[in-house]
Amino acid sequence: MSEFNLIETYFSWSDTASSVIKGVGDDAAIIDIPNDKYLVTSVDTSIAGVHFPIETPAIDIGHKSLAVNLSDLAAMGATVKWFTLALTLPSFDKPEDTQWLEDFSRGLKTLANQAACDLIGGDTTQGALSITIQVMGVVDKGTALLRSGAKVGDLIYVTGTLGDAAIGLATIIGDLKIKHLSDLDYCQDRLNKPTARIVESKIIKQFASSCIDISDGLLQDLGHVLKASQVGASLNTREIPLSPALSRINRTIAMQAALSGGDDYELLFTIPQSCNVDFLETVNVNVTCIGKINQNISIIMDENGDPLKASGYNHFNG
Ligand code: ADP
Ligand code: MG
């Protein structure tokens, strides 16, 4: 298969949005950006054996490579619109490459369609498997969610449940055994098929003072918010949301995964107390209040006043 055939067959599906003046197929893409919006953009590379285990199914690699990028835009409160794909493949011409590309592009395309995010271009090269996606979106001027907006007294919330992906990874690399098969599947799915919290972001955006997506573990990513906002945090660790699967494993291991494990792709955000009632009346997605912002710059404490520090759990993060 030639490079041109490959692009044509697997990566030329888009061009549907009216904002795409020129998509895949010319020397560069052209997009139309409304006057009243800012362009919001982020790029992430996923390398086999570093960001995902080598044996990850191609369909999941396709999904996850885009999902992690969508998550960054959700954290900014932006609406996703377009993405480019720089794909490096070990080979193009073996029979198994065709299957891999078919599966990879299906995983990618399914999520892209769901998220209404158009593939507008990319690059295809030969080398060790690596996927770089640059995602672009828009936000009404002055409405983006930043890490720097948290204020003393704000309540700290997270979406979903934490630690599932880290436990999924631990089972894949042989660090941990899980009894129930359905719990094992659930955790591995959370690792391989993360959900970018796009829907949640739209609601959170109306009330939040700051936001970040949790990709490197709750404590580490909360630390980024604290540093950017020049504040501290006290967490009620008993409130940290665990899935039914994690509530069935050893509590210490589950909590370590929830506090320090990577790859959750949940949103962490702060809500001023003055609009907390309105927020709770409006929010129709799964969110949990886990603590409060205080004045102890960059320090995270638990409910007993003891400091909480991230412990290594990120074998496959970077
Ligand atoms: P050039 O040599 O001019 O950079 P390429 O052959 O790299 O052209 O790309 C031709 C067209 O195909 C461009 O529009 C480019 O954006 C697109 N393209 C290349 N690789 C991919 C890919 N993996 N996914 C989507 N579009 C791609
Ligand atoms: Mg090129």
* Gyration radius of the chain over CA positions: 20
Mutate which of 124, 134, 135 for ligand 1? The one with the most ligand atoms within 8 Å of its CB, which is 124
Mutate which of 1, 4, 7 for ligand 1? The one with the most ligand atoms within 8 Å of its CB, which is 7
Structural domains in the chain, sorted by start: 3-140 (3.30.1330.10), 147-301 (3.90.650.10)
Per-residue pLDDT tens digits of the chain, which is 318 residues long: 788 889 999 999 876 778 999 999 999 999 999 999 999 999 999 999 999 999 999 999 999 999 999 999 999 999 999 999 999 999 988 989 999 999 999 999 999 999 999 999 999 999 999 999 999 999 999 999 999 999 999 999 999 999 999 999 999 999 999 999 999 999 999 999 999 999 999 999 999 999 999 999 999 999 999 999 999 999 999 999 999 999 999 999 999 999 999 999 999 999 999 999 999 999 999 999 999 999 999 999 999 999 998 875 554 443
- The alpha carbon of 75 and the centre of ligand 1 are apart by a number of angstroms equal to 29
Ligand of minimum distance to the alpha carbon of 3: 1
pLDDT attached to residue 313: 53
pLDDT attached to residue 311: 78
- Per the listing, tokens 């995602």 go with 135
- The alpha carbon of 180 and the centre of ligand 2 are apart by a number of angstroms equal to 47
Decide: 70 and 134 in contact? Cβ < 8 Å: no
Helices within the chain (DSSP H only): 3-10, 58-75, 95-114, 164-172, 181-192, 198-204, 218-229, 244-247, 251-260, 276-282
Pocket lined around ligand 1, Cβ cut-off 6 Å = 7, 11, 24-27, 85, 87, 119, 121-124
pLDDT attached to residue 256: 96
Decide: 192 and 64 in contact? Cβ < 8 Å: yes
Q: What is the DSSP secondary-structure string of 79-100?
A: EEEEEEEEEEES-SSSHHHHHH
Of ligand 1's listed atoms, the one at least distance from the Cα of 86 is 23
User: Cα separation of 230 and 295, whole Å?
Assistant: 8
- The alpha carbon of 123 and the centre of ligand 2 are apart by a number of angstroms equal to 5
Provide the β-strand partners of residue 157.
269, 289
pLDDT attached to residue 4: 85
